[in-house]
Structure 1
Amino acid sequence: MPDDAYPELEPVPVDSIVDTQGLRVALTRFESVQGEVQGPGEVAGAAVRVTLSLTNEGDGDLDLDLVVLNAFMGNQRDPAETYEQPGGSPVTGTLAPGETAEGVYLFRIPEDRRGDVTFIVDYRQSESAVVFRGAIS
């Protein structure tokens, strides 16, 4: 559930485009993959590879190193574990006004838990997080 210390915008469907505080945010692609083990304690499993698109519509640069995408399953928001592979490539660097960046993130989400998934995009400490919620394939 949302925490007052970490404000969130109202959830929108996963296929929405959100314009907020000079930033356009969208989840543009969902792919079913097999998450790959990269280190001790990790477990391979069914995963979803998500492409996050950010367009800076503001006047100043956006620090992409502050952008975090998290995923949760079900109404109780069980956290989805993350993977780096195959193909993970988070956004990094600086996004100038008018530019678009895409990042790729992987989450361990079993096929039977994909009917209700929440994705939360945190991008700036002073702004409410963007929340997408719905079924993914």
Structure 2
Amino acid sequence: MNTAHHGQGGHSAGRRRRLLATSIGISALLALGGTVWASGQDTVARAAGERPGQDTVAGSASPKPETAGPAAPALTPSAAGGPAANTVPGPAAVSPAARPDPSPVDRQGKSEQQLAEIPQPTAAPVDLKDKKDLKGGVSATITEVQAVQGEAKGIGEIAGPAVRFKVTVTNSTAQALSLGSAVVDLTFGRDEEPAGPLSGPDTAAFPSSVAPGDTGTGVFVFAVPLEARDNVKIHFNLEAETPVATFAGKVPA
């Protein structure tokens, strides 16, 4: 009986030693596996641009950016590549109507061919209802603008919807003013398409001259489509050396 008991005790001790060895081996393997896993995670983190040991779980690597607020004013880089400068608005741009008119053409000492090559100067537009100074002591106004049914009596004219208006020239100088070379035309639309002149109704040519302190009036009719009357320009050319006056605005439909 003692021999059997001793044999059973020996077998039990052997089993405990084997279980302990197995447990130690499994623990070592787990520790080694954990080390390898951590090393692999650090390698992945480095490949992704993260610091070693940083949490790589999606959504927890870095906090989500807050919702952006209103954009800050843009900075404009300097031309030389220096520090950016704030885009602070400068002085307000001068409106076309406030710009000075171009100088009259100097005709002295120039041949007719030279004068023909000089472009006709054009003044900045004014409103249809404004008075426009043409040169010292001479001005022009547009009045009695109305929609009419244009009459075609001349060659190439086409009757249809039209606009009639008066151009009045005031001579405040001490000398007679010639209107023999004065020209009136009209354009419409964004592309400033030329309008065709018409013979009626009730047109009137300028007088040949205007006495000192007097006025001279001409009545003109131009074909203007009904849908293009929000942007009309009437041009008055008194003479070759004087800037062309432009009256711009909306006309009756």
Q: TM-score, normalised by structure 1?
A: 0.91
User: Can you give the 5+ residue segments of structure 2 that lack an aligned partner in the other structure?
Assistant: 1-117
Q: Note if 1:94 corresponds to 2:209.
A: yes
Deviations 1:64-118 (A, max 9, x none): 1211111001232100000111101020211111001111000000111110001
* Identical-pair percentage: 29
Corresponding pairs, count? 134
1:55-70 correspondence runs (5 A):
55-70=170-185
| Deviation of 1:40 (Å) | 4.4
Please tell me the residue identity of whatever aligns with 2:131: I
Provide the rounded CA distance (Å) in 2 between the counterparts of 1:107 and 1:130. Answer: 17
Q: Note if 1:29 corresponds to 2:144.
A: yes
**Contact 2:209 2:216 (C-alpha < 8 Å) held by counterparts:** no
Q: Which residue of 2 aligns with 1:11?
A: 125
Provide the rounded CA distance (Å) in 2 between the counterparts of 1:20 and 1:68. Answer: 13
Please tell me the residue identity of whatever aligns with 1:34: Q
Of Structure 1 and Structure 2, which has the larger fraction of its residues in strand? Answer: 1
Q: Which residue of 2 aligns with 1:125?
A: 240
Provide the rounded CA distance (Å) in 2 between the counterparts of 1:134 and 1:124. Answer: 23
- Greater gyration radius: 2
> Runs of at least 4 residues of structure 1 off by over 2 A?
39-42
Provide the rounded CA distance (Å) in 2 between the counterparts of 1:108 and 1:52. Answer: 17
Provide the rounded CA distance (Å) in 2 between the counterparts of 1:37 and 1:43. Answer: 5
Give the superposed CA RMSD. 1.3
Provide the rounded CA distance (Å) in 2 between the counterparts of 1:97 and 1:124. Answer: 18
Q: Call closer, same or farther: CA 1:78–1:101 in 2, change over 3 Å.
A: same
Q: Which residue of 1 aligns with 2:167?
A: 52
| Deviation of 1:32 (Å) | 0.9
Secondary structure of the 1:112 match is helix
| Deviation of 1:43 (Å) | 1.5
Please tell me the residue identity of whatever aligns with 1:8: T
